[in-house]
């Protein structure tokens, strides 16, 4: 990667990934974009892009002569369930426009997938790289269709498409963006502010999680990997931690002993969570491009709490 366009750059992942990319590749080599007007907090080139506009991604990518598009613009799981038609339009038409732009310009395209592509008929523990994918949410359906489209554009047009199935991401830098795994981020915030939290996800509900620095490193590492070694052009399983709400609470209590956890389960988000894997097998990512997470649960908790104390 030498010159990169990031769509959805003001979202949870995009905010931090843009900063990281500029540190690695230089401010003038990373163009951030979102549907919103320019954000003064962004330090570098910025373009307003509505990804559902058929030509806008192409126009901006062509203007800056980028060699890579990182397409992050999407409506996340809980918000997608509330507005399924909006989710389909943004998530699918936006992706098609990104694919067409990348095809016309013959540039690399990164599209994140999600653990939401799995469903109730998928093996829940150590979910394989290749397995049954029958999602029951609009977001999961969008992401699975996106995986297939990326595979198709690679096979049909030779497009260099790359993706990873992201678990729940935990970060102190950006607020939660409407995802089912956001309870974990909220718990850290409330632990620092109030020493108590009421979880909308029920006890003993395990899901895959990852600290944002590991996710950012994984995206860059995969995009820099030798394409000849990549067996899967839809998305690679990656993960770092499989945890339930009580696991986060126990880890937090190591540093904040008075912290308490209660439950007030949101039936919609609980149903979504139960359709997702407990843990993923990410052997393929390790073998094909060297993926290896750095942060375990307690390392992540300490870093989150330290940074949130400063932030809050």
Domains delineated in the chain: 4-167+210-237 (3.40.50.720), 168-209+241-276+295-311 (3.90.25)
**pLDDT value of residue 178:** 67
**pLDDT value of residue 78:** 80
Dist CA 67 CA 312 (whole Å): 38
Q: HSE-up of 220 (CA within 13 Å, CB side)? A: 21
* Residue 33, beta-bridge partner list: 47
Query: Edge-to-edge strand order for the sheet containing 113-114?
Result: 113-114, 164-166, 236-237
Residue 218 falls in which region: left (phi positive, over 0), alpha (psi -120 to 50) or beta: alpha
Residues with active-site annotation? 139
- The DSSP secondary structure of 79-94, one letter per residue, reads HHHHSHHHHHIIIIIH
**pLDDT value of residue 41:** 55
Residue 255: Cβ-neighbour burial (10 angstroms; 0-12, 13-18, 19+):
middle
Q: Check if the beta carbon of residue 194 is closer than 8 Å to that of residue 308.
A: no
The pTM of the full predicted model, rounded to 2 decimals, is: 0.93
247-254 contact pairs (CB < 8 A, 24+):
247/297, 248/184, 248/187, 248/188, 248/297, 248/301, 249/187, 249/197, 251/297, 251/298, 251/301, 252/187, 252/188, 252/191, 252/301, 252/305, 254/298, 254/301
Render each residue's pLDDT in the chain as its tens digit; 312 residues: 999 999 999 988 999 999 999 999 999 999 999 998 875 655 789 999 999 999 999 999 999 999 999 999 999 878 888 899 999 999 999 999 999 999 999 999 999 999 999 999 999 999 999 999 999 999 999 999 999 999 999 999 999 999 999 999 999 987 766 678 889 999 999 999 999 999 999 999 999 999 999 999 999 999 999 999 999 999 999 999 999 999 999 999 999 999 999 999 999 889 989 988 999 999 999 999 999 999 999 999 999 999 999 998
Q: Is 68 helix (H, G, I), strand (E, B) or coil?
A: strand
Count other Cβ atoms within 10 Å, centred on residue 22. Answer: 20
Dist CA 266 CA 264 (whole Å): 7
Give the distance, in angstroms, between the CA of residue 239 and the centroid of all CA atoms in the same chain. 11
**pLDDT value of residue 76:** 83
Q: Check if the beta carbon of residue 3 is closer than 8 Å to that of residue 68.
A: yes
**pLDDT value of residue 252:** 98
Count other Cβ atoms within 10 Å, centred on residue 289. Answer: 21
Those residues whose C-beta lies under 8 Å from the C-beta of residue 310, and which sit 6 or more positions away, are: none
């Amino acid at each position: 990667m030498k010159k990169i366009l990031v769509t959805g750059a003001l979202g949870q992942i995009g905010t931090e990934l843009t900063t990281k990319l500029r540190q690695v590749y230089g401010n003038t080599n990373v163009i951030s974009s979102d549907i919103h007007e320019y954000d003064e907090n962004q330090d570098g080139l910025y373009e307003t892009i509505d990804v559902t506009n058929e030509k806008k991604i192409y126009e901006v990518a062509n203007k800056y002569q980028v060699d890579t598009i990182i397409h992050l613009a999407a409506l996340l799981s809980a918000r997608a369930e509330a507005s399924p038609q909006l989710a389909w339009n943004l998530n699918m038409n936006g992706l098609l426009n990104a694919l067409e732009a990348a095809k016309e310009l013959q540039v690399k395209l990164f599209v994140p997938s999600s653990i939401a592509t799995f469903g109730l008929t998928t093996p829940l523990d150590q979910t394989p790289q290749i397995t049954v994918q029958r999602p029951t949410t609009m977001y999961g359906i969008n992401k699975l269709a996106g995986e297939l489209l990326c595979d198709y554009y690679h096979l049909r047009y030779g497009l260099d498409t790359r993706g990873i199935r992201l678990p729940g991401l935990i970060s102190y830098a950006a607020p939660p963006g409407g995802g089912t795994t956001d309870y974990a981020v909220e718990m850290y915030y409330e632990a620092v502010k109030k020493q108590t939290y009421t979880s909308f996800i029920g006890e003993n509900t395990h899901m895959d999680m990852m600290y944002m620095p590991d996710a950012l490193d994984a995206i860059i590492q995969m995009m820099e990997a030798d394409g000849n070694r990549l067996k899967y052009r839809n998305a690679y399983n990656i993960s770092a931690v499989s945890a339930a709400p009580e696991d986060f609470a126990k880890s937090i209590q190591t540093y904040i002993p008075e912290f308490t956890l209660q439950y007030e389960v949101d039936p919609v988000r609980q149903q979504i969570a139960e359709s997702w894997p407990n843990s993923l097998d990410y052997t393929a990512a390790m073998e094909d491009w060297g993926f290896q997470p750095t942060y375990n649960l307690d390392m992540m908790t300490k870093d989150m709490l330290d940074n949130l104390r400063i932030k809050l």
